[in-house]
Amino acid sequence: MKIGIIGAGISGLTAGRILARAGHEVVVFEKSRGSGGRMSTRRMGEKAQHRMDHGASYLTGSSDAFQAFIKELEEKKVIRKWTDSFSGYSNGTFLPQVPGRDPQTCYFAPEGMSSICKYMGRWLDFRFNEKVGGVTHIGGSRIKKSPWMINSTTINVFEADAVIIATPAIQAYGLISTAQDEFELRRMITVLDEIPYTSTVSFMAGYGERKQPDWQAVSCDHPVVSWISNESSKRDSKGKTNIVAHTTDAFAEKTLEEADSGEVNDNVMQALAEIIGSWAGRPLWYESHLWRYHMPRKHLDVPFLESEDENAPIAVIGDYFQGRSMEAAYLSGLRLGKHWVDKYS
């Protein structure tokens, strides 16, 4: 079967590699220039020598299936253990550990979190910088004629026997809305419309050579900043201090209405100075990125959505199925991949 996957995040890549290993032809469409989604890594600094995980900072999980995936990545030296506890900030006080949080091993990728997705994508064919504008049900059956047309926002089109949409729910909603108006697709649209998202601004900053922080990450109770990751604790930074901070949803929502990114950055730097010290308000370089669809606010109690038309299969997967995390995204892709391998062998 020729399968088109829209979105190169962990859920799409998980389903894709299972189906490709089973002998299906899999093509992944990604609007960005690389895979990863929220597991993205940027090269920053004057010579772009510092890797900064400006989306997800780490991996952790408890299910047997995700633990097996983590073990695979660890054995292949894609990830390493980072920490099992975080520092905290609340009511103006810096805390060595977050009160009440049970220890849980967190893993980081020395080459950046995006290297996890590069490892997963070795079995797949990619179309990067290819934004999909819609999908069209063109009839026929997957045995005699490909029933789906994937339409990019350029002139490119791609025929497929099956389609998997692995994007945030609001984007999946938009893509399915372009397909033929059938009952099954309308049902999927209705469900997807109920998944709202939080937003965050990711602030990446470098401070040059200075004493390294003695913490790996800080979970913050603050009106501006919710999370700070010490990127220098993940990999050799040549004695230089680099951090990534994520803002609160409330602050990010406010920035969506503001055109002045300079004011946004100034507010984040002021907050960092309050939380971890005055030095954090004076970076040598910095850059920010808005994650409009950062985390789903709620999740669905099923592992994926799919149409019941076996002649024109289409499914939706992501981190909003049975959870709201990287682990949930992985498990959603895993379960659909295995399901389709059995169903369309």
Q: Give tens-digit pLDDT for 288-339.
A: 999 999 999 999 999 999 998 888 899 999 999 999 999 999 999 999 999 9
Which pLDDT score is estimated for 102?
A: 83
pLDDT at 49: 84
CA distance 85 to 83: 6
pLDDT of residue 195: 94
pLDDT at 15 exceeding the cut of 90: yes
Residue 281 has pLDDT above 60, yes or no: yes
Across the range 152-177, mean pLDDT stands at: 93
Q: What pLDDT score was predicted for residue 319?
A: 96
pLDDT of residue 280: 97
Q: Dump pLDDT digits (tens) for 115-126.
A: 999 999 988 999
The whole-number pLDDT of residue 10 equals 96
Give the mean pLDDT of the chain. Answer: 92
Residue 274 has pLDDT above 80, yes or no: yes
Give pLDDT tens digits for 80-93.
Answer: 999 999 999 999 99
At residue 139, does pLDDT exceed 80? no
Between vectors from CA 229 to CA 261 and to CA 39, what angle results, nearest 5°?
80
Over the Cα atoms of the chain, what is R_g? 21
CATH number of 42-112+196-296: 3.90.660.10
Q: What are phi and psi of 207, to 5 degrees?
A: -120, 10
Is residue 103 scored above 90 in pLDDT?
no
Q: What is the pLDDT, as a whole number, of residue 259? A: 54
State yes or no: pLDDT of 17 exceeds 80.
yes
* Sheet-wide strand order for 217-220: 93-95, 87-90, 217-220, 225-230, 240-247, 197-209, 285-296
Place 185 in a pLDDT band, splitting at 50, 70 and 90: confident
Spatial distance between the Cα atoms of 120 and 343, rounded to a whole number of angstroms: 23
**What is the dihedral sign for C-alpha 27, 32, 35, 36?**
negative
Question: Residues 226-261: pLDDT tens digits?
Answer: 999 999 999 988 889 999 999 999 999 988 776 567
Residue 207, pLDDT score: 96
Is 42 a residue whose pLDDT tops 70? yes
Give the pLDDT confidence score for residue 82 in this predicted structure: 97
Which helix (H) or strand (E) is 157 found in, with range? strand 157-160
pLDDT for 284: 95
Q: Which of 253, 232, 53, 16 is nearest to 127 (CA)?
A: 16
Burial 279-288 (b: 16+ CB within 10 A, else e): ebbebeebbb
Domain residue spans in the chain? 2-37+118-194+300-343, 42-112+196-296
CB atoms within 10 A of CB 47: 7
Local confidence band at 34 (pLDDT 50, 70, 90 cut-offs): confident
Question: How wide is the angle at C-alpha 189 spanned by C-alphas 183 and 190, nearest 5°?
Answer: 90
Lowest-confidence region among 144-158, 161-175, 283-297: 144-158
pLDDT above 90: percentage of residues in the chain: 75
Q: Which CATH architecture has domain 2-37+118-194+300-343?
A: 3-Layer(bba) Sandwich (3.50)
pLDDT at 254: 86
Cβ neighbours of 61 (radius 10 Å): 21
